[in-house]
Structure 1
Amino acid sequence: MEAAAVSTGQMLIGLAVGIILLLVLAMKTRIHVFVALIISSLVTGMIGGLPFGDVIKSITSGFGSTLGSTGIIIGLGVMMGAILEKSGAAQQMAFSIIKTIGKAKEEWALALTGYVVAIPVFADSGLVILTPLAKSLSRMTGKSVIGLGLAMATGLQLAHVFIPPTPGPLAVAGILDVDMGMMILWGMVMTLPVLVASTLYSKWLGKKIYQIPTEDGTDFERKEFKEEYVKSIENVERIYQEMNLPGAFLSFAPIVIPLILILGNTVVSFLKLENGFAAFLKMIGHPVIALIVGLLIALYGLGVRHSKEELDKSIEEGVKSTGMILFITGAGGALGYVVRDAGIGNALGEAVLTIGMPGILIPFVIAALMRISLGSATVALITAATLTAPLVPQLGLNPTLVAMSTCAGAVSFSYFNDSGFWVFNGLYGLKEVKDQFMAKTMVSFIGSFTALALVLIFDIFM
């Protein structure tokens, strides 16, 4: 597919017009972001020099190719997450982590809980599921529900943006051709230090915004923090035993076993092992097969407590919520193919070389701008990865670090146009704009730039 002979300037104008049009349509009109992405792809390609027929071919090819590599995995992950929600496995994981980490470390326990739960469960859903636990811990320990809830929300958000099989990082790995196991491994390497920084901030903010849920859980009591308010939990076991939750092993297994299988595939491929056992590990470590294994464990390990009809209903409700995410993922791939086929990617690379911006910063800047503009981390991830992919070979960038830079940008600046911003504020009783910004917005800012700092450090040595 050859683009018409056009100047580099015209190609870049086509890209700029397409992105501006995407933002205007998504923010200022009734047009959904999926349709806006398709329209943006059409305009970008035609101004960039592609004949109309070739633009349509690029859009359909990009849409199909992107969903072909990610659609099944997203679907399987959502089904597994629905069973974890229905069975109470998410709550069991939370209590198990609290029990393991120990008393007086509830913020750390909830941060880690959110981090684990968000791998199969969408971040907003996970926040709703786990908030009753955070409120209960707040009443029992005397710690501010803001510090506890924000630490948990941060764990949820980081895993949601950095670690497959959640749709955003899964799409990024596919677009940038990053091995799934490497994406998981590097996502963990990047996010665990970020989780520490964000949790420390959450603990500090909990003392500045000191709120305790009322006994009936319908409101919050706010006052000045005093150390004497804080007390320890004496019997965590009694609390979760009364809830009749599934066992810890079965609760963690649907998440942990697929991750181990995928990482095993990555290790075998990295070591270039070719024997029969290595071939078997590659087969069961393929993301599709690994997630089928996780889904079967969830169905037959956790699902036995519910009827088939109940499970089917939960799974169908979960899948419904992902329909538009799949469309947006495919549309992002369509834009990427248009950018590639029109030669805009190469033109953008030449422009970057001319202005001297470090290439590793480009995906971060694009993702951050998209997150600020549209509020959606998933759209920010897909758009930034799509526009940066052509630059990877041209600028000699490391694809894995480009993926991490993309994720770092997408986690930034949670504010008014982010659904998670309002979900958190509503669940935790934050009504003042100053408090809202000090919580969700500031912790996302800290997480984003801490992750970027790590990316820049690794970029020096890789």
Structure 2
Amino acid sequence: MSMLLILIAVIAFIVIATAKFKLHPFLTLILASFLAAFAYGLPSADIAKTITSGFGGILGYIGLVIVLGTIIGTILEKSGAAITMADVVIKLLGKRFPTLTMSIIGYIVSIPVFCDSGFVILNSLKQSMANRMRVSSVSMSVALATGLYATHTFVPPTPGPIAAAGNLGLESQLGTVIAVGVFVAATAAFAGMLWANRFKNEQPDGEGSEELQVQEDYQKLKDSYGELPSALKAFAPIFVPILLICLASIAKFPSAPFGDGSLFEIFSFLGQPVNALMIGLFLSISLLKSDDKIKEFGERISQGLVVAAPILLITGAGGAFGAILKATEIGHYLGESLSALGIGIFMPFIVAAALKSAQGSSTVALVATSALVAPLLGDIGLASDMGRVLTVMAIGAGAMTVSHANDSFFWVVTQFSRMSVQQAYRAQTMATLVQGLSAMTLVYILSLVLL
């Protein structure tokens, strides 16, 4: 029992330090690693070595994937590719189902672009569509936000799911994580859209009629990017790597669909996440617009590195925390306890939801929870590849439950949609609760079928 109390105390420290005292998650997780090491009585000579090896081990492979994915997302964001993606979806779906269209736009754009940035970029498009289709902008805002949120928490190469997959030893199984993540994220996005439809006749608190101005704002936004990239150029840098990663996973199926010769070798090489994202990075060069493309490319890389740096540090710190827990007997102890309770796949969901609700960051919830549960997987029957993949999904479902006042994304949605806080709690926060519970229900059903 003392082992469990120590773990609860360490988790409470992480929550209080990040939520109440606003201590950076990187430092919080490193301090939690030291606290857990001393509390569990690890040999003092081994503590620093275990922390540094855990920090470096997770970043040795996943670090490059996070950096490359973030740089590609930065180039797509700055080039206007996100606008092109949105326009393509509107042309394909038309205007018959406005909230569905908005949800799908968010779902696609948030794979390469962070959900906060995606909402800012697409806000004027959302408002323009709401005015033209005579649909409440509250409904359209929630549909866009929940679409963005779904892929943000489930689908690599978004950093949170990648880091969670790395912590759970799925570096070579990212194709499977993507395939399952796309399916689970679609369910979460659909649930969010259904909740958004409840607000079709409800206008933002205190918003006046700005229809003409908003349409002009959207046109100004498009014009500010100059000539927008073609659909092929916009989609290629992110969907080609995803396709290659998935093909590599298919190539490794026991049935050997590509044989074991040169074709297998080619797909295996190109589908390694670092190699696939390098190809995506080179494809993104076609989106650069200035006359001095080398200089612009360097600027985009620098901007991407600035965004990636805190994510890398948090991911590494989560790896350090996980390494300390693996060096103790807590995994075996908790595994036996949880097996007796029979909550299995729900445990990572509950922990992630608690961390997300307490400190606000989905990425921190994904990283910390995956580091925490990694030592437990064998004892709760989730040590297989598919068990680990579904654990990532369960953590992702928890990491979106719920977005409220301590989450920066909540404030982006609230402020840009002109909703009051009370209205945002009813519309956006409740939507993320519905998303998380719907996604977790699907993950549980998948666990019954696949495990």
Amino acid at match of 2:436: S
How far has the Cα of 1:448 moved from its partner?
0.3
Q: Distance in 1 between matches of 2:146 and 2:290?
A: 31
Aligned to 1:418: 407
Aligned to 2:190: 196
Aligned to 1:281: 267
Structure 1 residues 57-68: aligned runs within 5 Å: 57-68=49-60
Aligned to 2:337: 351
Q: Distance in 1 between matches of 2:10 and 2:326?
A: 14
How far has the Cα of 1:163 moved from its partner?
0.4
Structure 1 residue 182 corresponds to structure 2 residue 176: yes
How far has the Cα of 1:357 moved from its partner?
3.5
Residue number among 253, 272, 276 corresponding to 1:290 in the alignment: 276
Q: Distance in 2 between matches of 1:167 and 1:41?
A: 22
Structure 1 residue 401 corresponds to structure 2 residue 390: yes
Q: Distance in 1 between matches of 2:415 and 2:356?
A: 21
Deviations 1:45-103 (A, max 9, x none): 11112122222111111100111121111111111111111211110000010000112
Structure 1 residue 173 corresponds to structure 2 residue 165: yes
Deviations 1:231-290 (A, max 9, x none): xxxxx9xx99x9631111111111111111000000001244421110110100111111
Q: Is the 8 A contact 2:100 2:143 kept in 1?
A: yes
Residue number among 413, 427, 437 corresponding to 1:449 in the alignment: 437
Aligned to 1:16: 8
Amino acid at match of 1:80: I
Q: Distance in 1 between matches of 2:146 and 2:37?
A: 38
Q: Distance in 1 between matches of 2:393 and 2:209?
A: 37
Q: Distance in 1 between matches of 2:430 and 2:50?
A: 39
Q: Is the 8 A contact 2:339 2:379 kept in 1?
A: no
Aligned to 1:256: 239
Q: Is the 8 A contact 1:93 1:252 kept in 2?
A: yes
Aligned to 1:137: 129
Which blocks of at least 5 consecutive residues in structure 2 are unaligned? none
How far has the Cα of 1:296 moved from its partner?
0.6
Aligned to 1:214: 210
Q: Distance in 1 between matches of 2:339 and 2:434?
A: 29
Amino acid at match of 1:430: M
Aligned to 1:154: 146
Q: Distance in 2 between matches of 1:33 and 1:257?
A: 33
Q: Is the 8 A contact 2:71 2:303 kept in 1?
A: no
Structure 1 residues 260-275: aligned runs within 5 Å: 260-270=243-253, 271-272=255-256, 273-275=259-261
Q: Distance in 1 between matches of 2:179 and 2:443?
A: 14
How far has the Cα of 1:204 moved from its partner?
2.2
Q: Distance in 1 between matches of 2:3 and 2:58?
A: 23
Amino acid at match of 2:323: Y
Q: Distance in 1 between matches of 2:426 and 2:23?
A: 32
Q: Find the residue that maps to 2:201 and give its secondary structure.
A: helix
How far has the Cα of 1:353 moved from its partner?
2.7
Q: Distance in 1 between matches of 2:435 and 2:270?
A: 34
Structure 1 residues 274-423: aligned runs within 5 Å: 274-299=260-285, 301-304=286-289, 307-308=292-293, 309-354=295-340, 356-397=341-382, 398-423=387-412
Q: Is the 8 A contact 1:115 1:155 kept in 2?
A: yes
RMSD of aligned residue pairs (Cα, Å): 2.1
Aligned residues: 433
Q: Find the residue that maps to 2:378 and give its secondary structure.
A: helix
Aligned to 1:89: 81
How far has the Cα of 1:213 moved from its partner?
5.6
How far has the Cα of 1:315 moved from its partner?
3.0
Q: Find the residue that maps to 1:208 and give its secondary structure.
A: coil
Question: Bigger shift: 264-273 or 402-411?
Answer: 264-273
Deviations 1:304-362 (A, max 9, x none): 456333343233123212211110011011110000011221121122134x1421110
Which blocks of at least 5 consecutive residues in structure 1 are unaligned? 1-8, 220-235
Tell me the TM-score normalised to structure 2 length: 0.91
How far has the Cα of 1:434 moved from its partner?
2.4
Tell me the TM-score normalised to structure 1 length: 0.89
Distance 1:76 1:306, change over 3 A: farther
Q: Distance in 1 between matches of 2:252 and 2:404?
A: 41
Aligned to 2:116: 124
